[in-house]
Amino acid sequence: MRGAVLYAPRDVRFEERGLPKITKPTDAIIRISATCVCGSDLWPYRGINPVTQPPPMGHEYCGIVEEVGTAVTTVKPGQFVIGSFFASDNTCPNCQAGYPSSCRHRELVGDAQAPLLRVPLADGTLVATPDLPSNDMIPSLLTLSDVMGTGWFAADAADVKPGKTVAVVGDGAVGLLGVLSARQMGAGRIIAMSRHESRQKLAREFGATDIVTERGDDGVARIKGLTNGIGADAVLECVGTQESMTQAIRSTRPGGSIGYVGVPHGVEFNGEKLFYAHVHLHGGPAPVRRFLPQLIDLVWKGKINPGKVFDLTLPLDQVAEGYRAMDERRAIKTLLRP
Amino acid sequence: MRGAVLYAPRDVRFEERGLPKITKPTDAIIRISATCVCGSDLWPYRGINPVTQPPPMGHEYCGIVEEVGTAVTTVKPGQFVIGSFFASDNTCPNCQAGYPSSCRHRELVGDAQAPLLRVPLADGTLVATPDLPSNDMIPSLLTLSDVMGTGWFAADAADVKPGKTVAVVGDGAVGLLGVLSARQMGAGRIIAMSRHESRQKLAREFGATDIVTERGDDGVARIKGLTNGIGADAVLECVGTQESMTQAIRSTRPGGSIGYVGVPHGVEFNGEKLFYAHVHLHGGPAPVRRFLPQLIDLVWKGKINPGKVFDLTLPLDQVAEGYRAMDERRAIKTLLRP
């Protein structure tokens, strides 16, 4: 079986990796229906995260259960399933508290850009759809594995509620799905910060009411101008840089909330500034598993269509071009079909 | 009139300052019944905050209204009133959202260690008690001006709820009143981190169920040992140093909440560590005015007695000794009577 492997910055290869096998009784093997490239894959791709031994790539997946270990009881071969990038047992205290991505037995699923995938802790990790999905529903179901669950968590962590004013920092796929999530949660006004026309268009389609193209002081001034001078009630930080985090903090009203889901790279918070900003701050790796049943239901009933973030679909063996297109911002997000 | 003035590190003088006067129609003058020394007064007293021109000192106060400006309508001469260290109009969007300490017209009240005090924005700032209080109730009412309101905010910001497990970092007056607040909010278990016997005793009296004397790795291990290995649901950070903040973050379970009220001095948060800690973080200058009606009611009905944190009472003209006793940790908190 061939799969994606990252050799060095901007050097992704599709090459022989060996077939995954059941190694523990709690494992499952799934046949991937679709996988994709994540914004966070671009950190090592761009050389910002160092690559030591060439790692297999990919952590977003959905597909048909091929085989299960002897201890697996909740999913069975033939079912269509979705799981998170963190496998979790769904029974430990952290899972029970709603934080499966901090499961005490969590395992990163990191080799999903391939036709077959081993998923650990299958009972805790995988959620089956009510039936086999139609082919055109698969992109939306795939997003629930990470990008949509992460946008949803950003909105959830920022305490988006009906009628609130929301600002979204970052117009990547997560930010755009943060817009969709905020709309679904009933936000009154949704300000998307974006400079790119195609992304602005999708943001509006997902529910953005305002677009702010400025950044820094000017961006803050625009947000304040739209919010009675005080800042947004809820801000979704969907990038992970010092600039985007500072933008988020300065755009939030005192007492407002920031949900941050961009993996921080070189971000430092100054304690005193954060103190006087008076904001609520919550984030981390999205507890995707918590949201799967609800989000599957929304996709299944046609209430949301997050799969629209995929503006490039390629056969899996062209994975390298999928990375390039996102790196060069020619694509928002690349879907890969084995 | 004489009042406290800080000349240099450890040099507080009680000296002539001139009588305060109504300068705006929204001002009130109050005759101080009691004032006190705050833990945050010790930052400049110790030279950690630089002192430029000698400032008057004191920001915790309660007393009898002596005179009001022509625009003041809600308090009148003869009433016993309490206000916050931040005067606020109680009408701006930030006040209405529950953050009067980020009022758009806030003014710091910083010269309360004196017999008479000018309070700006009197209508928004001052809350009158139902009647004149008995003398022995005054210490508890005084705490509502800052220290009790700040401990209460720490617990509120950490989302303390009935049955939750709470840890309190810091055994100063704010931390001790954080314990009392958590108990009042129905916490199931309250772990006070303290090395000082007299403070441990008061913590237990206020409702602490467990005392942890260790700090750093050992302190974290003790908290984890008391919480099924995962950390506390809610942690109150009541100090404001890098060490105490790190202690708080590491003692909180994933998905748990930290309320931080110690004014941060040199505190930096590493973005990536905070991200993977998965905690909620909220704090800032306590919105004391929000809590005043509720806390006055609790003191008035004898349900809480936060005045117990005062273990030293001095005449106001001995204010310098009041600072010394707290600096040397001979006293938890000094009450001053004009």
DSSP string, A116-135: EEEESSHHHH-EE-SSPPPG
CA distances from B101 to B61, B174, B290, B296, B310 (A): 16, 17, 9, 18, 25
pLDDT of residue A249: 98
Q: What is the CA radius of gyration of chain B?
A: 19
Q: Residues A46, A153: one domain? A: no
- Average confidence (pLDDT) over A218-231: 97
Distance from CA of A94 to the nearest CA of B (A): 7
CATH code, domain with B302: 3.90.180.10
Q: Residues B123, B26: one domain? A: yes
- For chain B, the average pLDDT equals 97
Give strand pairing partners of B280: A282, B257
Spell out the alpha helix ranges (H) of chain A: 42-45, 93-96, 122-125, 138-143, 147-157, 173-184, 197-206, 216-226, 242-250, 271-277, 288-300, 319-327
Tokens at residue A271, please? 């304690």
Contact B254 A94 (CB under 8 A): yes
Concatenated DSSP letters of A69-98: -TT--S--TT-EEE--SEE--S-SHHHHTT
Q: Residues A111, A175: one domain? A: no
Question: Does A148 contact chain B (CB < 8 Å)?
Answer: no
In the three-class reduction of DSSP (H, G, I as helix; E, B as strand; rest coil), residue B25 is classed as coil
> Do the beta carbons of residue A338 and residue A316 sit within 8 Å?
yes
The residue among A103, A248, A105 whose CA lies nearest residue A169 is A248
Question: Does B224 contact chain A (CB < 8 Å)?
Answer: no
Evaluate the CA torsion angle A271, A272, A275, A280 in order and state its sign.
Answer: negative
Is residue A49 very low, low, confident or very high in pLDDT (cuts 50, 70, 90)?
A: confident
CB atoms within 10 A of CB A16: 9
Evaluate the CA torsion angle A307, A101, B280, B39 in order and state its sign.
Answer: negative
pTM attached to this predicted model? 0.96
- Average confidence (pLDDT) over B315-325: 97
ipTM, 2 decimals? 0.96
Is residue B212 very low, low, confident or very high in pLDDT (cuts 50, 70, 90)?
A: very high
Contact A269 B264 (CB under 8 A): no
Q: Considering only the beta carbons, identify the residue of B260, B266, B271 that sits closest to A267.
A: B271
Q: Residues A219, A139: one domain? A: no
Q: Residues B17, B94: one domain? A: yes
Contact B99 A266 (CB under 8 A): no
pLDDT of residue B49: 77
Say how far apart CA A75 and CA B112 lie, in whole Å: 68
Q: Tally C-beta pairs within 8 A across A and B.
A: 118
The residue among A2, A25, A114, A23 whose CA lies nearest residue A63 is A114
Question: Does A238 contact chain B (CB < 8 Å)?
Answer: no
Neighboring chain A residues of B267 at a CB cutoff of 8 Å:
270-272
Say how far apart CA A298 and CA A312 lie, in whole Å: 23
> Do the beta carbons of residue A235 and residue A160 sit within 8 Å?
no
Q: Residues A194, A329: one domain? A: no
Number of domains in chain B: 2
Distance from CA of A107 to the nearest CA of B (A): 14
At B206, the amino acid letter reads F
Say how far apart CA B287 and CA B280 lie, in whole Å: 19
Distance from CA of B102 to the nearest CA of A (A): 7
Q: Which residue of A has its CA nearest to B241?
A: A271
Residue B63 has phi, psi (to 5 degrees) of 170, -165
Concatenated DSSP letters of A269-284: EEHHHHHHHT-EEEES
Q: Which residue of B has its CA nearest to A255?
A: B99
In the three-class reduction of DSSP (H, G, I as helix; E, B as strand; rest coil), residue B315 is classed as strand
Q: Which one of A238, A254, A283 terminates a domain?
A: A283
Contact B264 A274 (CB under 8 A): yes
Q: Residues A124, A179: one domain? A: no
> How do strand A116-119 and strand A28-36 relate by DSSP bridges?
antiparallel
Block residue for tokens 């750093």: B216
User: Does residue B188 carry a pLDDT above 90?
Assistant: yes
Say how far apart CA A131 and CA A80 lie, in whole Å: 7
pLDDT of residue A52: 74
Q: Which one of A252, A267, A283 terminates a domain?
A: A283
Neighboring chain A residues of B287 at a CB cutoff of 8 Å:
255
Q: Considering only the beta carbons, identify the residue of B98, B269, B284 that sits closest to A268.
A: B269
> Do the beta carbons of residue A163 and residue A186 sit within 8 Å?
yes
What are the contacts of A45-49 at 24+ separation with CB within 8 A?
A45/A6, A45/A9, A45/A10, A45/A12, A45/A323, A45/A327, A46/A9, A46/A10, A46/A327, A47/A8, A47/A9, A47/A10, A48/A265
Neighboring chain A residues of B279 at a CB cutoff of 8 Å:
282
In the three-class reduction of DSSP (H, G, I as helix; E, B as strand; rest coil), residue B248 is classed as helix
Q: List pLDDT tens digits, range A273-314.
A: 999 999 999 999 999 999 999 999 999 999 999 999 999 999
Neighboring chain A residues of B284 at a CB cutoff of 8 Å:
254, 275-278
Say how far apart CA A200 and CA A177 lie, in whole Å: 12
Give kind and range of the element (H or E) at residue B128: strand B127-128
Residues whose CB falls within 8 Å of the CB of residue A192, separated by 6 or more in sequence, listed in order: A168, A171, A175, A176, A179, A200, A203, A204, A208, A210, A211, A212
Q: Residues A11, A129: one domain? A: yes
Contact A267 B267 (CB under 8 A): no
Distance from CA of A315 to the nearest CA of B (A): 34
Is residue A50 very low, low, confident or very high in pLDDT (cuts 50, 70, 90)?
A: confident
Q: List pLDDT tens digits, range B248-294.
A: 999 999 999 999 999 999 999 999 999 999 999 999 999 999 999 99
CA neighbours closer than 13 Å in the CB half-sphere of residue B274: 27
User: Does residue B299 carry a pLDDT above 80?
Assistant: yes
Contact A254 B285 (CB under 8 A): no
Q: Residues B11, B116: one domain? A: yes
Question: Does B96 contact chain A (CB < 8 Å)?
Answer: no
Q: Residues B24, B110: one domain? A: yes
Contact B271 A266 (CB under 8 A): yes
CATH code, domain with A181: 3.40.50.720
Contact B228 A93 (CB under 8 A): yes
pLDDT of residue B241: 95
Q: Considering only the beta carbons, identify the residue of A254, A284, A285 that sits closest to B102.
A: A254
User: Does residue A166 carry a pLDDT above 90?
Assistant: yes
In chain B, residues 98-117 whose CB comes closer than 8 Å to chain A: 98-99, 101-102, 104
Q: Which one of A261, A283, A305 terminates a domain?
A: A283
Q: List pLDDT tens digits, range B36-69.
A: 999 999 999 998 877 778 999 999 999 999 999 9
Contact A260 B270 (CB under 8 A): no
pLDDT of residue B308: 98
Q: Considering only the beta carbons, identify the residue of A97, A264, A275 that sits closest to B272.
A: A264
Tokens at residue B151, please? 């401990």
Q: Residues A37, A138: one domain? A: yes
The whole domain housing B41 covers 2-146+287-337
- Average confidence (pLDDT) over A261-270: 93
Q: Which residue of A has its CA nearest to B273?
A: A264
Q: Which residue of B has its CA nearest to A272?
A: B264
CB atoms within 10 A of CB B46: 12
- For chain A, the average pLDDT equals 97
Block residue for tokens 């007293």: B45
Distance from CA of A89 to the nearest CA of B (A): 15
Q: Residues A155, A260: one domain? A: yes
